[in-house]
């Protein structure tokens, strides 16, 4: 027989809420998802903090080490985690947009609410700029989300079906370049194979054949040049990041400006805004809050993982061939990322609906409430303690397996710290600074201490 109190405890994780010092409501199930996502994002970032950022752009994943343990760690990361923590945070941003804009609109009216929401995200954008150029993390997401949230805001009043349709359309449109590359590469390989077969049969090359052969040679030359340039970037980055503080800072700034110059920031904003719309739709339908049936979440897990994990596993095996053959994941990457994330969301909600699952996931609520501070702490620990040239200097010394274990250890410590923090303070430090600036006043920081002997604790 299931203990009634424990059953109530499991349900409470999904439905209970609290209020921040600035009056913002908190929904615990969303905090649990946010806590999982913000800790999970370190598994995506640590290889770029402890190794070359340009490595992944070049596809040379073996640069960090390729022992059997490294291969297993990379494969699991690639299939189950890569991009999904970021995707979950984007969905939660969309949910937060609905919550916050509704609350602001009720109190201040439509246009005043828009100004406040844009001001809130502009301040977040500025925090991201500091994260980029002062804390030297080229992979910052705060400035991207600040811009993307302003774009997503324009669609906030649409019905959930339309929000989902627009978000999915934006995801599919991201696959245009990859889909064309897949078709073009496949077509070229088929044409060269046909020419090779005719040559083997003793048939002379036609003018069209010679044109195709010339194009293939030019493509190979361009590809070789691109690989050489990427290899040179990796070598230069390794040298800079193991030199002095100034060489490290210069390398970080150069990477940031290079990504902006290549137009990658527009792609990142497009991705984030589209996924925020999907998150807004899921929130309006109650999916992110755990308000759907267990059968719904079981079905979502099966469908989402079949598409997401299946596609990503095939893509990972293709990457491990280390050749220039076209990969199906080129045309499925974003859809697979969103699908896998939906599977993760459904799994979390299914666990929150059970006694054991709720107990297991409850500590992540604190991580969700301190997510912004945890994100900055991850940068400080990795970039300023573990891997910089002026501190422990571990850059380039860990393979994939060691990096994943390091991320796990850091996250375990941060999770313990987050749970201690929320018992003693009302708000985390970076959140406090952000919201105090947004509100234009110094928000209360510490929890109020009960007065007098035998007094009960005052509510936060």
131-178: per-residue pLDDT in tens? Answer: 999 999 999 999 999 999 999 999 988 999 999 999 999 988 876 655
Strands (E), 156-251: none
**∠ CA 34-37-39, rounded to 5°:** 110
Q: What is the pLDDT of residue 197?
A: 83
User: Is it the case that residue 3 has pLDDT exceeding 80?
Assistant: no
Please state the rounded mean pLDDT for residues 60-81: 94
Nearest-angstrom CA–CA distance, 198 and 192: 10
Q: What is the pLDDT of residue 458?
A: 39
User: Is it the case that residue 459 has pLDDT exceeding 60?
Assistant: no
Please state the rounded mean pLDDT for residues 279-306: 96
Nearest-angstrom CA–CA distance, 364 and 372: 14
Q: Which of 13-22, 50-59, 72-81, 316-325 has the lowest mean pLDDT?
A: 13-22
User: Is it the case that residue 331 has pLDDT exceeding 80?
Assistant: no
What is the 8-class DSSP label of residue 26?
E
Residue-wise pLDDT tens digits, 395-414: 999 999 999 999 999 999 99
By C-alpha distance, which of 324, 392, 344, 292 is closest to 49? 392
For the chain, percent of residues with pLDDT exceeding 70: 86
Please state the rounded mean pLDDT for residues 416-428: 95
Q: What is the pLDDT of residue 437?
A: 96
> 1-10, 168-177, 225-234, 390-399 — which one is most confidently predicted on average?
390-399
User: Is it the case that residue 460 has pLDDT exceeding 60?
Assistant: no
Q: How confident is the model at residue 9 (pLDDT cuts 50, 70, 90)?
A: very low
Mean residue pLDDT of the chain comes to 87
User: Is it the case that residue 242 has pLDDT exceeding 50?
Assistant: yes
By C-alpha distance, which of 117, 87, 39 is closest to 282? 87
User: Is it the case that residue 103 has pLDDT exceeding 90?
Assistant: no
Give the pTM.
0.88
Q: What is the pLDDT of residue 453?
A: 45
Check the CA dihedral 104-107-112-116 and report its sign: negative
**Burial (Cβ within 10 Å: 0-12, 13-18, ≥19) of residue 315:** buried
Q: What is the pLDDT of residue 17?
A: 47
Nearest-angstrom CA–CA distance, 216 and 198: 17
């Amino acid at each position: 027989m299931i203990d009634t109190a424990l059953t109530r405890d499991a349900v409470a994780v999904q439905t209970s809420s609290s209020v921040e010092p600035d009056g913002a409501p908190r929904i615990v199930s969303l905090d649990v998802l946010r806590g999982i996502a913000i800790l999970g994002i370190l598994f995506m970032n640590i290889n770029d903090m402890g190794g070359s950022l340009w490595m992944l752009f070049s596809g040379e994943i073996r640069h960090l080490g390729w022992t059997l343990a490294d291969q297993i760690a990379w494969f699991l990361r690639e299939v189950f985690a890569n991009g999904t923590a970021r995707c979950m945070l984007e969905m939660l941003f969309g949910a937060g947009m609905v919550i916050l804009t509704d609350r602001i609109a009720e109190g201040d009216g439509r246009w005043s609410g828009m100004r406040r929401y844009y001001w809130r995200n502009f301040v977040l954008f500025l925090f991201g700029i500091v994260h980029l150029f002062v804390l030297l993390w080229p992979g910052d997401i705060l400035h991207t989300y600040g811009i993307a949230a302003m774009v997503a805001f324009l669609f906030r009043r649409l019905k959930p079906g339309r929000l989902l349709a627009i978000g999915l359309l934006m995801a599919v449109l991201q696959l245009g370049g990859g889909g064309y590359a897949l078709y073009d590469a496949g077509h070229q390989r088929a044409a060269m194979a046909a020419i090779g077969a005719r040559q083997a049969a003793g048939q002379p090359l036609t003018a069209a054949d010679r044109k195709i052969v010339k194009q293939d040679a030019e493509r190979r030359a361009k590809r070789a040049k691109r690989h050489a340039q990427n290899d040179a970037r990796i070598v230069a980055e390794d040298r800079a990041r193991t030199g002095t503080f100034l060489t490290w800072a210069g390398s970080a700034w150069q990477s940031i400006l290079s990504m902006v110059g290549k137009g990658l920031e527009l792609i990142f904003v497009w991705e984030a805004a589209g996924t925020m719309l999907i998150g807004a739709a899921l929130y309006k339908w109650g999916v992110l809050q755990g308000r759907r049936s267990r059968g719904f979440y079981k079905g979502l897990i099966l469908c989402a993982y079949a598409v997401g994990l299946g596609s990503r596993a095939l893509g990972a095996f293709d990457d491990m061939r280390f050749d220039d053959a076209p990969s199906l994941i080129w045309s499925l990457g974003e859809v697979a990322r969103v699908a896998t994330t939906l599977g993760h969301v459904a799994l979390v909600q299914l666990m929150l609906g059970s006694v054991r699952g709720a107990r297991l996931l409850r500590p992540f609520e604190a991580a969700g409430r301190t997510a912004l501070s945890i994100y900055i702490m991850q940068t400080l620990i990795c970039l300023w303690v573990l891997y910089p040239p002026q501190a422990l200097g571990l850059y380039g010394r860990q393979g994939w397996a060691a990096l994943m274990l390091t991320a796990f250890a850091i996250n375990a410590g941060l999770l313990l710290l987050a749970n201690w923090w929320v018992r003693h303070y009302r708000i985390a430090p970076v959140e406090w600074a952000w919201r105090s600036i947004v509100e234009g006043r110094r928000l209360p920081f510490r929890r109020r201490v009960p007065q007098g002997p035998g007094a009960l604790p005052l509510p936060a």
